[in-house]
Amino acid sequence: MTQTSENVTWLTQEAFNQLKSELEYLEGPARTEIAKKIEAAREEGDLKENAGYHAAKEEQGKQEARVRQLRQLLERAKVGEAPADTGVVAPGMVVTVAFDGDEDDTLTFLLASREFATSDIETYSPQSPMGSGVNGKKVGEDAHYELPNGRPAMVKILEAKPYQG
C-alpha cells in the first residue's frame, strides 16, 4: 500500500509493480489505440461536428493526465514493506472504527491512496479528514477530526491490521 510523507510515497513492491505496469500500458498500447481512434475519426471529415473525434481527444487527454500522475508518483516512490501488525493505524492497514464510541455503529476501511481503492473494501486517503485523524493512533484510542462542514467528529479505533489484498 502507500504511506505518503511530504515528498515520498512509500509503496509495497506489489503496488509499485502494479502502477508501473499500468504506466507501461498507458504509454504503449493505450497510446497506439487512442491515436488510431483519432486518425479514424479524422478521416470521417469535418472535425467541428465529429463526436467520435472529440470523444477520442477527450479520452486521450484523460489518459495523458493519468500518465503524468503515475510518473510523478513513481518518481517519488520508495519501495518498502507493508506496515507491521503493531495495532497502530498507518497507511496500508484495514481499520475498524466506532463512531462516537458506539460499538454498534462501526466502519471498516482501508487507509491508502486512491490508487489502491478496490471494490472489496472502502478506501480512505491518509489525507482525508478521517484518514488524517486516525493515522498514528493505537487500537483503543479516540481519534478526533473535522467533518467537511466544519463540525468536529470522533471515532474510537477498534482494530488496525495490515491489508492482505
Mean pLDDT calculated for residue range 136-156? 92
Distance separating alpha carbons of residues 64 and 22, to the nearest angstrom: 12
In a domain, 86, yes or no: no
Query: What tens digit of pLDDT does each residue of 3-54 get?
Result: 444 445 666 677 788 889 999 999 999 999 999 999 988 888 777 778 888 8
Considering 80, 105, 140, which residue would you say is the last residue of a domain? 80
Q: What does pTM read for this prediction?
A: 0.57
In a domain, 140, yes or no: yes
Q: Which residue has 472529440 as its cell numbers?
A: 54
Average pLDDT, the chain: 83
Mean pLDDT calculated for residue range 55-77? 89
Considering 80, 102, 125, which residue would you say is the last residue of a domain? 80
For residues 11 and 68, membership in a common domain is answered with yes
CATH classification of the domain holding 44? 1.10.287.180
pLDDT confidence of residue 165: 59
Domain tally for the chain? Answer: 2
Does 74 have pLDDT greater than 80?
yes
* Listed residue (100, 96, 113, 112) closest to 157, CA to CA: 96
Q: How far from the centroid of its chain's Cα atoms is residue 94's Cα?
A: 14
pLDDT confidence of residue 123: 85
Min mean pLDDT across 43-47, 69-73, 135-139, 141-145 is at: 43-47
| DSSP SS3 for 40 | helix
Range of the domain at 120: 93-162
Q: Which residue did the predictor score with more confidence, 116 or 144?
A: 144
In a domain, 85, yes or no: no
CB 128 within 8 A of CB 113: no
Q: Which residue did the predictor score with more confidence, 4 or 136?
A: 136
For residues 111 and 75, membership in a common domain is answered with no
pLDDT confidence of residue 115: 65
Mean pLDDT calculated for residue range 75-91? 76
Does 92 have pLDDT greater than 90?
no
